[in-house]
Structure 1
Amino acid sequence: MPLRFKPTAAEDVSARTLVLSLMSVPGRRPQTLAYLSRAGGLFGMEPTAIRMAVTRLVKEGLLESVERGVYATGPKAAAFTAEISDWRNAPARTRVWNGGWIGVLTNHLGRTDRKDLRARMRALRLYGFAQAEAGLWVRPDNLRLSLGDLRAALLRIGLQDDALLIAICETALPASADWRDLWSTNDLKTTYEGAIAAMQASRKAAARLPADDAARETLLIGQSVIRTINLDPLLPEDIGDAALFRQMVSEMDAYDRFGRTCWDKIG
């Protein structure tokens, strides 16, 4: 399924997601429950929903209570914050492509367990694999991860333990089976351009919006762009528009700073 940029709808933001978005920022100071509840109100959330989300995050170690009604990131937040902020480093995860491929063989894994099948397909797509044939998923071998590290990363997010990864240095395929065509360059370019245009338009419009509306919009657009970055297949220049992808990431880095200033105004 091709990527399509679409801003997140306010009703699709959960209380948990909102709290994590506001708290899991490097250097974020402790925040009051009142502030978090007010932020929730911008998305139509009741204070009860925010309190429940905060309570659960404290139990998970992602938040901690520093005093009554005041919360900071918890002991398990460092790794989590690094993970959700890693979108900034997406372009650096790739190297120059030498024409080789990484393949994942899945025929022997079966398709009867629907839960395993969904987890497998999600893991493969998150790392940019596309299905070339029944039982064979491929991607350009342009990631900096070693084959072993890539396999370990896929296993952590749902690929079955007995999946087989192979490095493919040479292929002899029929003309109709060009693996480069498994990804649509035009779809990816349209997605990048849509994300960049949305961020630029949002920054121009913010000056005319009330502070609450501007803050809400930056979170909705920012989440959508970050999702787009994290789901990108990270294709080499020979297949995708890597330069435009880097521009989108750079634009998001600036937009993230802009969004923080908008949220500081409602603090």
Structure 2
Amino acid sequence: MTPQDLTAKALILSLISSTDTDRQMIGSLIHAGALFDIEPATMRVAATRLLKDGLLESPERGVYVPGRKAQALTRRVQQWQDVASKVVAWNGDWLVAMTHHLGRRDRRQLRTRERALALFGYQEAEAGLWVRPANLARAIEAHREDLVGIGADATMPVLRVLEVSAPDIGGWPGLWSAQALETSYREAISAMTESLKGLPGLTVAEAARETLLIGQAAIRAINFDPLLPPQLGNQGLFLEMVSTMRAYNEAGIECWRAYHGANAPSDA
């Protein structure tokens, strides 16, 4: 994530999905927006639009929490610290999600469906056939409910396949680039490690800004990771990235507390 990519909506949703700050005052959101040169009026308009879209709720004036449409996805994002408990040893089985009957005319639902599948590490092996290793800890019905909860179609079937005879099944492991994933883990670990070394020399505003950008990029990488078994990817390095992010998250929380504490905004 770069400052140029960070819109007012993205910043609000990022802060709302934080495990430390899932209840946000409008003054705090505006204060955060100032770090990225986002005008107060722009932050207010973005919050209003997110309310209208059901992604935010306002239990009282000037206070925002995740909305009904965002609650399942927010919970999913907040679970990044427990990612190691989500996988089990892989015995070679595959999970297969079938979407060929769901249609592609509703572009919004198509994007939502494919985001849900991507968040659980699925790749499209062929049109309408999405696959991933069956190394997830959740039972298949609970897993399907998780997919539906974050936007997949309620009528989408998910199968656990023990034996497959198909011309292209030998290529399924190659749907994920283990080398590219490993490179991304090393880059994220390096970015967080170097940032931790430099934080003491930054102003409170600079530190808050940097930890949000680097931290959100790392959390996104964790949440979108396919959680490949060791047979297909470097699971050990992935878990090292998660461990590094735990330490970085603690530092980031302290930086944001310092930033808000330095010039406490009005929450009116």
Q: TM-score, normalised by structure 1?
A: 0.81
Partner of 2:95, secondary structure, is strand
RMSD: 3.1
CA contact (8 A) 2:26 2:64 kept: no
Q: How many Å apart are 1:163 and its aligned residue? A: 2.6
Q: CA offset at residue 154 of structure 1?
A: 2.1
Q: Give the CA deviation at 1:211.
A: 1.9
- Alignment match, 1:225: 218
SS of match in other structure, 1:238 = coil
Task: Provide Cα deviations, 1:181-215, integer angstroms capped at 9, x if missing partner.
Answer: 22111011011111111111111222222221111
Among 183, 192, 203, the alignment partner of 1:210 is 203
Kindly provide the CA deviation profile for residues 131-180 of structure 1, in whole angstroms up to 9, marking residues without a partner as x.
Answer: 22333221111101211122222223333333332211123455882321
Is 1:49 aligned to residue 46 of structure 2?
no
Indicate the residue corresponding to 1:3 in structure 2: none
Change (3 A) 1:156 1:28: closer
Residues 100 and 129, structure 2, Cα contact 8 Å, conserved in 1:
yes
The answer to whether 1:37 aligns with 2:43 is no
How many residues align? The count is 257
- The answer on whether the counterparts of 2:58 and 2:65 sit within 8 Å (CA) in structure 1 is yes
Matches for 1:1-267 after TM superposition, within 5 Å: 8-22=1-15, 25-26=18-19, 28=21, 33-53=26-46, 62-65=57-60, 71=63, 82-173=75-166, 177-267=170-260
Q: CA deviation at 1:230?
A: 0.8
Cα distance in 2 between the residues matched to 1:234 and 1:216:
29
Alpha-carbon deviation of 1:112?
A: 4.8
**What TM-score comes out, normalization by structure 2 length?**
0.81
Identity of aligned residues (%): 42
In the alignment, the residues of structure 1 paired with residue 73 and residue 113 of structure 2 have an alpha-carbon distance, to the nearest angstrom, of 23
SS in 1 for 2:201: coil
Letter in 1 for 2:212: L
The Cα offsets for residues 15-70 of structure 1, whole Å up to 9 and x where unpaired, read as 3443454465556598765444332211101122334455667886645448xx7x
| Structure 1 partner of 2:263 | none
Q: Structure 2: give runs of 5+ residues left out of the alignment.
A: 261-268
